[in-house]
């Protein structure tokens, strides 16, 4: 017999998720430019579907209710030992660890590492297929410094926030985690501040 409290909790979560989705959709589609760009709409739907697919693969396909060795539930091929979806901060470190200690049998190719490699290979394949692939370099010493500082800030922020725009902004938000909303708000605020700073510098140079 099901617990009424759990049923009410699930219903409340479902309602909350529906309201959040409806609010975000209304905010996004309020922009006329976005509505007039089908590619962006299709891309957004596909990315959202991939996040859901990640949860399904790691939390359902790769789930074992009782591991014969430990008699405990097990999630196969995840670094956290729990259900996971797309994230790049942690998997990048796990990939480096796998390459450094590849002879260690406990280091395996996990969902996160495979997803990270898949994005790299898929992006390269798409760029080659559409003939948009090109090599790019740094314009100046200042450009190198900006990228170095940006990379350091990105790495530090991604680790301390437990995710980036993908891990927190997409995967985390899909769970309605309060911390993910805080992290996403901080990411947006930081991006806006950086763009305004760059615009201010360009205006001064002119």
- The band of 115, judged by pLDDT with boundaries at 50, 70 and 90, is very high
Longest Cα–Cα distance of the chain, Å, equals 72
> Once rounded to an integer, what is the mean pLDDT over residues 123-138?
91
> Once rounded to an integer, what is the mean pLDDT over residues 163-180?
89
Q: How far, in Å, CA of 206 to CA of 32, rounded? A: 32
Predicted confidence at residue 110, as pLDDT, reads: 92
C-beta of residue 168 within 8 angstroms of C-beta of residue 180: yes
Predicted confidence at residue 21, as pLDDT, reads: 83
User: What mean pLDDT, rounded, does the chain reach?
Assistant: 88
- The band of 96, judged by pLDDT with boundaries at 50, 70 and 90, is very high
Residue 74 phi/psi, 5-degree rounding, is: -145, 140
Q: Is the pLDDT of residue 2 over 80?
A: no
Percent of the chain exceeding pLDDT 90 equals 38
pLDDT tens figures, 23-70: 888 988 898 888 888 888 898 899 999 999 999 999 899 888 888 878
C-beta of residue 77 within 8 angstroms of C-beta of residue 64: no
pLDDT tens figures, 186-200: 999 999 998 999 899
Domains of the chain, by residue range, sit at 1-36, 41-134, 139-206
């Amino acid at each position: 017999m099901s617990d009424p409290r759990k049923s009410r909790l699930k219903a409340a979560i479902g309602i909350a998720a529906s309201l959040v989705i409806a609010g975000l959709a209304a905010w996004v589609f309020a922009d006329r430019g976005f509505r007039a760009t089908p590619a962006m709409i299709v891309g957004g739907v596909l990315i959202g579907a991939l996040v859901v697919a990640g949860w399904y693969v790691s939390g359902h396909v790769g789930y074992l209710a009782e591991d014969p060795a430990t008699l405990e539930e097990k999630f196969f091929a995840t670094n956290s030992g729990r259900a996971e979806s797309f994230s790049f901060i942690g998997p990048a470190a796990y990939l480096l660890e796998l390459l450094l200690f590849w002879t260690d049998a406990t280091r395996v190719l996990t969902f996160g590492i495979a997803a990270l490699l898949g994005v790299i290979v898929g992006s390269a394949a798409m760029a080659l297929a559409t003939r948009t692939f090109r090599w790019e370099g740094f314009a100046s010493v200042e450009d190198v410094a900006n990228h170095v500082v940006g990379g350091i800030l990105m790495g530090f922020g991604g680790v301390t926030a437990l995710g980036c725009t993908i891990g927190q902004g997409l995967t985390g938000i899909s769970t309605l985690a309060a911390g993910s909303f805080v992290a996403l708000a901080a990411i947006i605020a930081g991006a806006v501040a950086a763009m305004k700073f760059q615009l201010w510098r360009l205006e001064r140079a002119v």
